[in-house]
Each structure stands twice: as structure tokens, then as C-alpha cells.
Amino acid sequence: MKPTRREALRHSLLVLPVFIVFSAFWLLPMARLLSVGASGEMGVSAYWAVVTDSRYLSSLISTVALSAGVTVVTIIIAGIAGMFLQRNRFIGRSFLIATLTFPLAFPGVVVGFMVILLVGRQGLVGSVTEWMFGEKLVLAYSMTGLFLGYLYFSIPRVILTIMAAAEKLDGALEEAARSLGASPWQVVRDVMIPGLRPALISSGAICFATSMGAFGTAFTLATKINVLPITIYSEFTNYANLPLAAALSIVLGVITWLALALARSMAGSTVAAAA
Amino acid sequence: MSMKRSAHFYLQLTFTITVCAFLLVPVVLSILAGVTENFFVGIKSGLTLRWVVEVWSLYSKTIFLSIGISLATLAVTLLIGIPAAYVLARKQNRYTRWVEELLVLPVAVPGLATALALILLYGQFSAFRISWTFILVGHVLFTLPFMVRSVLAVMSAIDLKTLEDAAASLGATFTQRFFHVILPNCRQGILAGALMVVTLSMGEFNITWMLHTPLTMTLPVGLADSYASMRLEIGSAYTIVFFIMIIPLLVAMQWMSEPARPTKAKHG
């Protein structure tokens, strides 16, 4: 059967709905966002405001630093726990895995609330420290609180990716390294990490991109913390500065997209951001 | 499996349990706070369901709206996503890879940017702006790539062309092939994608917060509202309601991924 014009027409008709929806509701609005970003008093240079204006620059730097820090710490924590859960069988293992899977579906606002319950004004850590030292330890409404919140939503994603990758690792390689006299640290550095490299890069990139754009968690914890999504939101709602809000969100979008694209070209596998 | 464990094992076990506790303890706290008379005083103040009842009277609309929007999102992503996945599976070339790339963009770019873009272009059409369909648009953009990828993964794994050619040689029209051969063969992918779409839509906040109006509050938007303006017990009780709604979805997803590994080693 030869591929006919009829078949080509059919294929075009089948993708047409997605094409229309995507063009009308994403491509066109994004084009508008791009042009609004250049429509303010500053014109196109609004896009440079993020590096020339110290207020936005500090917001950008703290957001990047926070996201990078969260990514590194998450990968270390998730690497240790994920390898352990993948390599050992014991009673209660599936309960621990279920515990790690559950928070995957939490919106950012719920994660923020979890941090408040843990280290907020009426939180557990506050009560325990007050009882022990007579002074309440409250961390939720600061950068530390944000850091904990971002860890909260990042750890489950990264652990599950690492476990899936670790399942495919050849345990015999580690055995061989050990029998040749490699120390546990050498096994980790020279066998495990290279084997997990694609998974580490792709889950790290997702973790970084999600942290850069995380709005709900920061919104719940404190609207005064100077991270980029909050800056964009307050430019939009409090100052009605549409051009700047548009320019900043384009910059933010380009950064997260670049992080994911870079990771994909390095890891050689598909890297899709998760919610 | 050896029964004797090394010190190394217990060290890593302690670490892993600590990580799990970090995730689980606040969940337990929120469940306790939601059914405690006064969380500040503690459990000794008594257990109660009055906060849950209050949440129901304050926020039940948000729950129904979220269910409605997630089902509508599911309907749209099925209707437009499956045909698109079919074409992407049948024609694998430069252009279809481009389409795949493009579709993921609303997920790769922060929700705030997508929402702002939608408001700037369509905000002036007030009937659309204040309707729940404005939120639906955001949710469809955000969940569509998950549906397409899930269906596409299954379609790429089976030999679609041979199946179709066989059916066609027996005289089946395209409509018959699509509904009786193609769809039944990728129901695993459709089901997995559907669960993902509904779960993501139920929990979506970043786009929805910008797109909602006081009359179109979804569950996560209501949660943010209660965290900001209600007492801790009400926020907690509301969070319990959210947990109850997503647990069945998560269990179903877990259960779906199980059959793939029936020959795994049993627990020691």
C-alpha cells in the first residue's frame, strides 16, 4: 500500500487540534508577553534591567544560588538514600518508598504549609526547642524555610529517578572494584557516579528548573523573600508594572529552558520538567 | 540473603529513615492539627471534626470545581492528545520532533510566565477571563505533554504500522482501525497518561493562582487562601481533604506501574 495524499491529509487533520490550541493559547500569548516586555519606558532594554538594576539582579542571583544549592544538596541526599533503597531488601522498605512517592503530588502551597508545620511559629521544631532551651526556633519565613521547602519537593523526584537508574547498574562492576581493593569511596566515585551520570544530570536539571520557577512554596512561606517568581508577581500585582513583569518572566523562562536543554544535550536522554 | 547486616547498612538505614521522616512528619502533623480542637494546646484539648465541617461549608465549591476542571482537562487532552500522539508515532522525522519539543515548553517554562502571557493576550475578553474555561486552558497546556508522551511511549513500543496494515488488508477503514486496533493496543499508555493529567490538574497552583477569580477558586487556590487567612486547624483540615482526594490517584498510578516487574526478588 503506497502512502497516499489521503494519508498525509489525514495526519494533518489529526494534529490540527493540538496545533490550533497550542498556537492560540501558548505561542501567541508568549509572543505578546515578549512584546509587552519591550513596551515599557525602557523599551527592549527592560530585558537588561534584570542585570543592570541591582534590585532585580540581587533577586536573580539569590534565586539561582538557592536553586543551585537545593540541587546539590538534593542530589547528595537522594543519591545516598536512593542507592540504599535500591540495593537492600528489608522489612519496611516498601513503606519508606511509599513515603517518598506521596509528596510528588503536592502543590507548592502544600509544601510551604508542611514547612510551616515543621519549623513555623506553631511548628514542631519551635515547640521542641522552646521546651528544651526556652527559646523558639522559627525558620519557616526566611531563606532557610524556602531551602527546606524546595528540598521537600525535590527529594522525592530525584530519589525515584536515581532508584530507576540504579536498578539498571551492573552490581558486578562494584563487586569487581571492591575485590580489586577499591575503598567504598572509590567505588562510589569511580563506578557508581559515572554509571548514574545521565540520571544525576537530568534529575538535577529538573530540580534546578523547578526550584527557579517555584512560586507556590515561596508564596505560602513569605511574600517578602526576594526570589524571582515573587518579584515578578509583586511587579504585576502591587506595582502593575506589566512590561517589567513580562520581561522578567521571559528571562526566567529562558533560564529554566536553557538548564533543561543543556542537561539533555549532556545526558543524551529525554529530560522533561516535572510539575 | 544474609541475615547479618553491617554497621554501614544501619548507618544508611538511619539516614534514609531521617529523610523519610522529614517528608512524613509534617504530613502527620497536618492530619493531627486538622482534627485537634486547639493545636496550640495539643491533642489534650480533644479531637474534633468541626474543622473538617467548617472547611466543607467554606470551601466545598473549590473541591467540586477542581474535580470538574480536572475531568474537563482530561477530556480535552484525550481528544486532542491521542490523535497527535498517533501522528507523532507514525511519522518520526525532524518536524514531528519539533512538535514534541514545542509541546513540552509550557512545562519547561515556569507557570507564572504562561499565566501572565494568557492574561496579557486574553485578559480583556472579560467573559472568558472570569470563566472557569480560562483556568482549563492553562491546565490543558500544562498537562498535554504528559498525555502525549505517555501514549506516544506505548505507540512507539508496538509496531503500529504492521498492525494497521494487517487491519487495512482485511478491509478495515481508518476509523475502524483507529477505534478497534490502535486505541485498544495503547490503553496502558492512555490510562497512565489520564491518571497523570488528573493528578497534575488537581494540584496545579502556579498557573491557576494568576488565572483564577474569586468565583473560580480551585482546591489549591483555596488552600493558599486558607493558609493565609484562616487558623492553622482549618488549613490543616483542608489539607486532609486534599490528601484524601489525591491518595486514590497515587495508589492507582503505583498499581499501574507494578505489573511491569512481577519477577522481582521478594522482600528478605
Q: State which amino acid sits at residue B250.
A: L
| Angle made by CA atoms B13, A158, B221, in degrees to the nearest 5 | 115
Residue B1 pLDDT > 70: no
**Per-residue model confidence (pLDDT) at position B46:** 83
Length of chain A: 275
User: Which chain B residues are Cβ-neighbours of A236 within 8 angstroms?
Assistant: 116, 210
Q: What are phi and psi of B130, to 5 degrees?
A: -90, 0
| d(C-alpha B256, C-alpha B258), whole Å | 5
- Give me the mean pLDDT over the B72-100 stretch: 92
Grid cell of A24 as nine digits: 492560540
Residues A123 and B40: beta-carbon distance below 8 Å: no
**Per-residue model confidence (pLDDT) at position A106:** 93
Q: How far away is chain B from the Cα of A190, in angstroms, using its nearest Cα? A: 19
Contact yes or no for B114 and A85 at CB 8 A: no
Nearest Cβ partner for A15 among B24, B87, B108: B87
What's the pTM value of the predicted model, to 2 decimals? 0.89
Q: Find the farthest-apart pair of alpha carbons in chain A and give their distance in angstroms, rounded.
A: 83
In the predicted model, residues of chain A with pLDDT beneath 50 are 1, 270, 272-275
**Per-residue model confidence (pLDDT) at position A126:** 84
| d(C-alpha A106, C-alpha A94), whole Å | 20
User: Which chain A residues are Cβ-neighbours of B209 within 8 angstroms?
Assistant: 215-216, 219
Answer whether B84 touches A (CB < 8 Å): yes
Grid cell of A197 as nine digits: 551520570
Q: What are phi and psi of B36, to 5 degrees?
A: -100, 140
Answer whether B20 touches A (CB < 8 Å): yes
User: Which chain B residues are Cβ-neighbours of A33 within 8 angstroms?
Assistant: 113, 116-117, 120
Query: CB-based contacts of B267: which residues, under 8 Å, 6+ apart?
Result: A89, A90, A91, A93, A94
**Best of A9, A14, A89 to mutate (most B CBs within 10 Å, chain B):** A14
Name residue, grid cell 516535572.
A274
Answer whether B224 touches A (CB < 8 Å): yes
**Per-residue model confidence (pLDDT) at position B268:** 37
User: Which chain A residues are Cβ-neighbours of B26 within 8 angstroms?
Assistant: 113-115, 117-118, 124
| d(C-alpha B26, C-alpha B32), whole Å | 10
The per-residue pLDDT of chain B, averaged, comes to 89
- Give me the mean pLDDT over the B242-260 stretch: 83
Name residue, grid cell 477558586.
B217
Contact yes or no for A90 and B168 at CB 8 A: no
Answer whether B31 touches A (CB < 8 Å): no
DSSP letter for each residue of A116-149: HHHHSTTSHHHHHHHHHHSS----TTSHHHHHHH
**Per-residue model confidence (pLDDT) at position A273:** 43
Nearest Cβ partner for A109 among B80, B137, B223: B223
* Model confidence pLDDT, tens digit, residues B88-136: 998 888 888 888 889 999 998 999 999 999 999 999 999 999 999 999 9
User: Which chain B residues are Cβ-neighbours of A246 within 8 angstroms?
Assistant: 116-117, 120
User: Which chain A residues are Cβ-neighbours of B84 within 8 angstroms?
Assistant: 14-15, 17-18
Of chain A, the percentage scoring pLDDT greater than 70 comes to: 96
Q: How far away is chain B from the Cα of A1, in angstroms, using its nearest Cα? A: 8
**Per-residue model confidence (pLDDT) at position B267:** 43
- Give me the mean pLDDT over the B44-55 stretch: 88
3-state secondary structure of B47: strand
Q: Is the ipTM of this complex over 0.90?
A: no
Q: Which residue has the higher pLDDT, B220 or A7?
A: B220
Nearest CA in chain A to B77: A18
